[in-house]
Every structure is written in C-alpha cells, then in structure tokens.
Amino acid sequence: MESVIDIEDLGLTFARDGQRNEVLRGLDLAVPRGAFIAIVGSSGVGKSTLLRVLIGLATASSGSVRITPRPGQRQPLALVFQDSRLLPWRTVIDNVAFGLEGGGLSRTERRHKAGAALEIVGLAHLAERWPHQLSGGQRQRVSLARALAVEPEVLLMDEPFSALDAITREGLQDELVRIWQLTGKTVLFVTHDIEEATYLADRVVVLAGSPGRVVADTIVDAPRPRRRSQSQVPDLVAGIRQHIVGETLVDGTGI
C-alpha cells in the first residue's frame, strides 16, 4: 500500500541548560494512506515530539521525513492537540474557520467549509455558541472539526482525549472511528493508553528507550465494529505493555 508518510533514520537532539539531550534516534516508520496508526510509549519517550517534527514545529537533527500528498492537496497535515485551544472571543464556527484564513477564500466560503466540518463531528447546531458554553467533549470535537476544515490528508492527534472523563472519552473514541471511516483520512494517533490504542487503531507502534525508537509494530486484527471486551484485545494489550516495560527496565528510565 502506498505510504503518505515515510520516516527514515530520524533523530532529534536539542540542548538544554548546556547539556545535549537526544530525544529520538534511528526512527523508521511508514504510514500507509488511509491507515489508522496509534503510537504508544511511556512519558517523555518522544511521541509528541515526533508529531511536532511531522507538522514542522520541530526540526529533526538527522534522517528524513517524506510526505506524499495527493495531487492538489492544499494542506497535507493537521494537528489536534491534547487541549482544544479554542479562541474564547470567537464563536464555534469562527474557531473552526480559523485555519482557513489567509488561503484566499471569502468569509462566506470559509464559513461554508467550517459548517461542513461541524456537520461531520455532529455539532452544526452549536455553530454560533461560544467556547465557554461547551462541554469538554464538545470543545474537543470543535478542535477536530477545525482540523478537518482545512481538508488535510493526515490527522495528527496528540493525546486528544486524555483530559476527558471515561464516558466522554469512550464516546469520542467511537466518534473518531466513525469520522475516519467516513472521510478516509490517514490518522496518526498518539496516546499513553494502550487499551485506547488497540481499540482505535489497525496498527500500534511502540516507542521506547532513551533516546526513543520503534521497538514494536503490532497489527490489530480485531474486526470492526469493535467491542472493548473482544478476546483479542487483552492479549494485544499485554504484549504491547511488555514491550514498553521491558525496554524501560533495560534503559533504566521511568514509566
């Protein structure tokens, strides 16, 4: 299957307080077009840093990243953060339209695209509300709509549900799977929650060690629609956790 992202021998090192800190080393990863891949690992292993490199917020020290968008793709990547980062002085629809500004579209065109994205996440009826009038789950759905509005090929998601309560989180997991199947986007989803990763993704990539590197790449072959109690999932979770714990003990780092 054709890859939309190819990462080869990626390394990232930065200086802090006069000391050299190597975050990532020798990282290789191919992301097929349309795939749903989760990246898991212990805190500080470089999961979020990898997304920042892909979106251009951090610069790799070595290796290469090749992104192959479809012909005519205006913006191949969009990033959804852990918190919604909505602008409190803008309505919901104007927050969603924010990423379209400066692209040559009229205000009417921007609002039309923003409205279509809100339809996808099921919040069109809240278009004229203000961020403070929304629940935490609704704010994250607006954040997802803002990413979808720019029509990216790849959604990069950095622990987007980690601050939510369990019921809201499970509901948004199901919503994300629905949106992924509806839109055909490629999703690269960072999480520290192995159960979440195996429920959502078709592949789970484990980063571990110091510096971080890929130590396992596991296919999740549980059929969709999935149930959280499916027999395959606990075994997958246990195997992935062992990869993380084993590498952590070898490197002497904390989970």
Confidence check: pLDDT of 253 > 70: no
pLDDT of the residue at 245: 76
Instruction: Give the residue among 139, 136, 105, 97 at the shortest CA–CA distance from 121.
Output: 139
In a domain, 113, yes or no: yes
pLDDT of the residue at 246: 65
pLDDT digits (tens, 9 = 90+) for 146-155: 999 999 999 9
Q: Are 25 and 8 in contact (CB under 8 A)?
A: no
In a domain, 101, yes or no: yes
Confidence check: pLDDT of 233 > 80: no
pLDDT digits (tens, 9 = 90+) for 40-52: 998 889 999 999 9
pLDDT of the residue at 224: 87
pLDDT of the residue at 100: 92
Q: Where is pLDDT greater, at 246 or 226? A: 226
Rounded to the nearest 5°, which phi and psi values hold at 8? -130, 120
Q: Count the domains in the chain.
A: 1
pLDDT of the residue at 154: 96
pLDDT of the residue at 214: 95
Confidence check: pLDDT of 249 > 50: no
pLDDT digits (tens, 9 = 90+) for 105-120: 899 999 999 999 999 9
Tokens (6 digits) for 42? 């212990």
pLDDT of the residue at 255: 41
Confidence check: pLDDT of 251 > 90: no
Nearest-5° angle of CA 32, CA 37, CA 43? 135
In a domain, 222, yes or no: no
In a domain, 139, yes or no: yes
In a domain, 165, yes or no: no
In a domain, 91, yes or no: yes
In a domain, 121, yes or no: yes
For 132, the domain range is 86-151
Helix (H, G, I), strand (E, B) or coil at 140: helix
Q: Are 153 and 77 in contact (CB under 8 A)?
A: yes
In a domain, 220, yes or no: no
